[in-house]
Chains A and B, each alone.
Chain A
């Protein structure tokens, strides 16, 4: 069934000004798909992702993931829901500095009921040699891969990624995207990925373009390419 949005709106009010960050969005996403959300800065991508994933509440509208009505949950239920179903990756890696790579991944594993092993996930993201290093001893791309491992190890149904490659160079970015693609294929994890970079759309099953809080284009990509083959814009 997947993710279903009906008339979802998010309004930010600062002082007198009301900003429609997300405006009346209707969407349906199938399980196991690799979705890319595209759009210029300020178009509402992050807001949409936060609202869909239950990190923030919509102002109005209905959000349903599989059989769960996310928009009707209180914060306790949301916590439980995220714990069981979701993984997150952000542009900032947000690793715990005092913990080693392996330990950081274990933090993700502990909340899960049917997790993968740390070793397996670390080898999937190609960090087996770095297992015992600390975050400050890693490169940016490696740190991002740790945060992916941390999100994946719990075996989430959906991965939400907000600009995971925003801080990385082309080579490293492709490696990270490759990891995500592999996870999507190996575990049938739904991936929702936000980016500025239109060329990343080439690896998606579906590309949704936003502008001023509204969906302006919704494309099914028939010629999905491998992350390595993306021609970087």
Chain B
């Protein structure tokens, strides 16, 4: 019979139950889809990194030949021309280059004998394929560290074969055996390859991972030598006889001060290396986040269960008191509630689990659009099922059990005589004092809220949750556009021409501007991308946060990008030392540019030119609004293409972010709606009583709804600055710990919109709750009230 009672009572709360079901479903859905999606990559990836012996760290070194190098070179080689860089040496005299490299590697090993190192060479080439520019990074097979890994097919056996990434082939409708035409040179695809030092293809300072227009490629050694491009070198390392912590203390903390190793610009552990290690943070972060999100959602669900159950129990406290006086045991009263909570939540969790299982595959593929990693078909595991279904299920049931138990632990007399428990609490007493002078109706507005402290706090916390969630969703709108597209759209340099290293740059024409781009410069021990720009630059204006042009501030010091500021923690007013070539110049950071275009610093071009060449007008790169002649340059890059590619590639990401936004807003909205309905229904008896006493609807609305609305709006207003500071903090946190930029944005309209959503939902909830109340005649209402 008690089952029937609980069932019929709950049936009256259909809407809330459906929304509750939605939330419970979401919690297991999000966890399952992310867990399986990531898991489908994680397991094979671990094996892949093992088999292909992923580097533990990577060493960048200067292309410039330093004093020691030159001495050694003069000793070892006979050169006809003067050479300043390793890359040009390689073109002129390969055997000498090999000696120089061996010399540097030996120098490193002499200092740190417990590691293994190997040279990692690459050549970048740009091709025009069907009108778009494709970038290809050619890699040479290595012997020990970072060996190639074949997802399918085999390594190229001759100069006419090539192995590319699977996603590149897929996105360009190519399969193994097909021929690729790279500017007239035909290669036959022999297989799909992965390289463990590249889980992201990072070919330039901007973070564009468009795998349709860029790929890593493996060719035979002879073919690699034949490629007409400057070689890029890096040293891959293996912690062969050394622990990671030893490496950190012995190598990482000291190499910069080691005078025997002046040619090393940077040593990065793989996990801190965007190109190879981003996946670690991403995957771990992703898994932690999915768990975090679903725990958060599950706790919201519990919060709602708590409110609903206690509401039901309180409305029946009289009958429950009678049941207890008749000798019903607490467990007998509890069981039906727990039973219904169980049969409601279990199917929902299972449903969410299966939806998540289905969504895992597309989710995984989204990852694989960006990351170059192996994947396997998604298989269900017991652990995931348990975490997605059994754990939250147990959690919900156990928490509900304790909530009910707590309510039932009161003595039957207390349940039967409301004055005992519904008496004034400390809060109503305190507030009552301050409200003494108000009219009784205004006073009631507040006192009705404080009547039940727990419920009041649940209301406030729930509203805070909802407000925060909604604001967070808004702040994510356009996150990725802000990261890349905005930068190029705000500037006018549609074409970038990189001049040849050897010959000097072509003279400037029309509105073209010459700039100096130095991709790897050390600023206070951090590697940055330095750009020498004119303070009067028209083609590349720099904007601050408020959208003002601040290019002219280059007269007073350097301007750094928001990315650099976030990731490396530099701020306005900092004095920094920049090492250019073998000189060190000190500057003050005068401004931060609202740009997420990479870890860049802008510097007055005249100063930089003076430092490098003792002249005023050196430049190595040309920014142009109109197309540049390719023959005049080493490479010409079209930013228009970049924007186009980014936009198409980021469509998927935008859809994902959009989904996340919608989900968060839905959850926020559900919370607001349910809390409103429940709190208003809570005042069921009061509303009827006031009606009986002759108050009209308007007055009652003011008394009952007014209070909640005022507090709800206040919470929203308080949440806004809090959310703002939290987002700022999150940005810094993500940047510094995960090297991930999250340009959250908080705009006034977000706040206004959130408030509108709140007020609309509040009235919707209030309206539906009141309609339900109005359907019951007054005399029935008075009879129904049980205490």
- List, in ascending order, chain B residues with CB within 8 A of A135's CB: 783-784
B413 lies within 8 A of A95 (CB): no
- List, in ascending order, chain B residues with CB within 8 A of A50's CB: 413
Bound together, the chains give a CA A50 to CA B316 distance in angstroms of 20
Bound together, the chains give a CA A80 to CA B332 distance in angstroms of 12
- List, in ascending order, chain A residues with CB within 8 A of B780's CB: 136
| Contact residue among A86, A95, A98, A103 (Cβ-Cβ distance under 8 Å from B325) | A86
| Contact residue among B319, B328, B784 (Cβ-Cβ distance under 8 Å from A111) | B328
Bound together, the chains give a CA A143 to CA B322 distance in angstroms of 14
- List, in ascending order, chain B residues with CB within 8 A of A205's CB: none
A107 lies within 8 A of B2 (CB): yes
Q: Which residues of A contact B (CB under 8 A)?
A: 50, 53, 55-56, 75, 79-84, 86-88, 90, 92, 94-99, 103, 106-108, 110-111, 135-136, 140, 143, 147, 150-151, 154
Stretch from B4-12, B136-144, B149-157, B711-719 at the A interface: B4-12
- List, in ascending order, chain A residues with CB within 8 A of B332's CB: 111
- List, in ascending order, chain B residues with CB within 8 A of A143's CB: 783
- List, in ascending order, chain B residues with CB within 8 A of A56's CB: 411, 413
Q: How far is the CB of B54 from chain A (nearest CB, A)?
A: 63
A96 lies within 8 A of B5 (CB): yes
| Contact residue among A55, A83, A107 (Cβ-Cβ distance under 8 Å from B1) | A107
A98 lies within 8 A of B4 (CB): yes
Q: Which 9 A-B pairs have the closest CB atoms?
A: A83-B327, A98-B8, A82-B327, A94-B318, A94-B322, A88-B325, A136-B780, A107-B1, A106-B1
Other A-B contacts than A79-B327, A92-B786, A96-B316, 19 sampled, CB-CB below 8 A, are: A55-B413, A56-B411, A81-B327, A82-B326, A83-B329, A88-B325, A90-B416, A92-B318, A92-B787, A95-B319, A98-B5, A98-B8, A99-B4, A106-B1, A107-B5, A111-B326, A111-B327, A140-B783, A154-B326
- List, in ascending order, chain B residues with CB within 8 A of A55's CB: 325, 411-413, 416
User: A103 with B4: in contact, given A55-B412, A96-B319 (CB under 8 Å)?
Assistant: yes
17 contacts between A and B (CB under 8 A): A56-B411, A75-B411, A80-B327, A84-B327, A88-B322, A92-B416, A94-B416, A96-B5, A96-B319, A103-B5, A106-B1, A107-B5, A110-B1, A111-B328, A136-B783, A136-B784, A140-B783
User: A88 with B787: in contact, given A95-B319, A99-B8 (CB under 8 Å)?
Assistant: no
B785: nearest residue on chain A (CB-CB)?
Answer: A92
B5 lies within 8 A of A90 (CB): no
Bound together, the chains give a CA A154 to CA B326 distance in angstroms of 9
A98 lies within 8 A of B327 (CB): no
| Contact residue among B1, B316, B324, B416 (Cβ-Cβ distance under 8 Å from A79) | B324
| Contact residue among B5, B321, B411 (Cβ-Cβ distance under 8 Å from A94) | B321
Residues of B744-787 at the interface with A, using a CB-CB cut-off of 8 Å, are 780, 783-784, 786-787
- Residue among B9, B319, B325, B786 with max Cβ neighbours from chain A (10 Å): B325
A79 lies within 8 A of B5 (CB): no
A97 lies within 8 A of B784 (CB): yes
Bound together, the chains give a CA A75 to CA B325 distance in angstroms of 11
Interface residues of B: mostly helix, strand, loop or mixed? helix
- List, in ascending order, chain B residues with CB within 8 A of A75's CB: 411
Q: Number of B interface residues at 8 Å Cβ cutoff, please give it.
A: 29
Bound together, the chains give a CA A98 to CA B316 distance in angstroms of 10
- List, in ascending order, chain A residues with CB within 8 A of B786's CB: 92, 94, 97
A84: nearest residue on chain B (CB-CB)?
Answer: B327
Bound together, the chains give a CA A53 to CA B413 distance in angstroms of 11
Q: Is B640 an interface residue (CB 8 A)?
A: no
Q: How far is the CB of B723 from chain A (nearest CB, A)?
A: 42
A82 lies within 8 A of B325 (CB): yes
Q: Is B649 an interface residue (CB 8 A)?
A: no
Q: Is B323 an interface residue (CB 8 A)?
A: yes
A137: nearest residue on chain B (CB-CB)?
Answer: B780
Bound together, the chains give a CA A65 to CA B611 distance in angstroms of 105
Encode B1-26 as 1/0 by CB contact (under 8 A) with A: 11011001100100000000000000
- Residue among A79, A150, A154 with max Cβ neighbours from chain B (10 Å): A79
Q: How far is the CB of A96 from chain B (nearest CB, A)?
A: 5
- Residue among A80, A82, A151 with max Cβ neighbours from chain B (10 Å): A82
- List, in ascending order, chain B residues with CB within 8 A of A95's CB: 319
Q: How far is the CB of A192 from chain B (nearest CB, A)?
A: 14
| Contact residue among A83, A103, A140 (Cβ-Cβ distance under 8 Å from B326) | A83
Bound together, the chains give a CA A147 to CA B8 distance in angstroms of 20
User: A90 with B322: in contact, given A56-B411, A79-B327 (CB under 8 Å)?
Assistant: yes
Q: How far is the CB of A205 from chain B (nearest CB, A)?
A: 24
B412: nearest residue on chain A (CB-CB)?
Answer: A55
A107: nearest residue on chain B (CB-CB)?
Answer: B1
- List, in ascending order, chain A residues with CB within 8 A of B412's CB: 55
B329: nearest residue on chain A (CB-CB)?
Answer: A79
Bound together, the chains give a CA A110 to CA B328 distance in angstroms of 9
Q: How far is the CB of A135 from chain B (nearest CB, A)?
A: 7
Bound together, the chains give a CA A110 to CA B326 distance in angstroms of 10
Bound together, the chains give a CA A84 to CA B327 distance in angstroms of 7
- List, in ascending order, chain A residues with CB within 8 A of B323's CB: 107
- List, in ascending order, chain A residues with CB within 8 A of B413's CB: 50, 55-56
Bound together, the chains give a CA A187 to CA B412 distance in angstroms of 27
- List, in ascending order, chain B residues with CB within 8 A of A106's CB: 1
- List, in ascending order, chain A residues with CB within 8 A of B319's CB: 94-96
Bound together, the chains give a CA A79 to CA B332 distance in angstroms of 12
Q: How far is the CB of A128 from chain B (nearest CB, A)?
A: 19
| Contact residue among B1, B325, B328 (Cβ-Cβ distance under 8 Å from A99) | B1
Bound together, the chains give a CA A83 to CA B412 distance in angstroms of 13
- List, in ascending order, chain B residues with CB within 8 A of A90's CB: 322, 416
A162: nearest residue on chain B (CB-CB)?
Answer: B416
- Residue among B9, B322, B786 with max Cβ neighbours from chain A (10 Å): B322
Q: How far is the CB of A193 from chain B (nearest CB, A)?
A: 16
- List, in ascending order, chain B residues with CB within 8 A of A110's CB: 1-2
- Residue among B328, B780, B783 with max Cβ neighbours from chain A (10 Å): B783
Q: How far is the CB of A94 from chain B (nearest CB, A)?
A: 4
Encode B375-392 as 1/0 by CB contact (under 8 A) with A: 000000000000000000
Bound together, the chains give a CA A75 to CA B329 distance in angstroms of 10
Bound together, the chains give a CA A150 to CA B12 distance in angstroms of 25
- List, in ascending order, chain A residues with CB within 8 A of B324's CB: 79
Bound together, the chains give a CA A140 to CA B780 distance in angstroms of 11
A98: nearest residue on chain B (CB-CB)?
Answer: B8
Bound together, the chains give a CA A108 to CA B2 distance in angstroms of 10
Residues of B295-342 at the interface with A, using a CB-CB cut-off of 8 Å, are 316, 318-319, 321-329, 332
Bound together, the chains give a CA A96 to CA B333 distance in angstroms of 13
Bound together, the chains give a CA A147 to CA B245 distance in angstroms of 76
Q: How far is the CB of B185 from chain A (nearest CB, A)?
A: 81
Encode B656-679 as 1/0 by CB contact (under 8 A) with A: 000000000000000000000000
- List, in ascending order, chain B residues with CB within 8 A of A94's CB: 318-319, 321-322, 416, 786
A160: nearest residue on chain B (CB-CB)?
Answer: B325
Bound together, the chains give a CA A87 to CA B329 distance in angstroms of 15
Bound together, the chains give a CA A98 to CA B8 distance in angstroms of 6
Q: How far is the CB of B17 from chain A (nearest CB, A)?
A: 15
B317: nearest residue on chain A (CB-CB)?
Answer: A94
A108 lies within 8 A of B783 (CB): no
- List, in ascending order, chain B residues with CB within 8 A of A84's CB: 327
- List, in ascending order, chain B residues with CB within 8 A of A150's CB: 322, 326
Bound together, the chains give a CA A69 to CA B324 distance in angstroms of 19
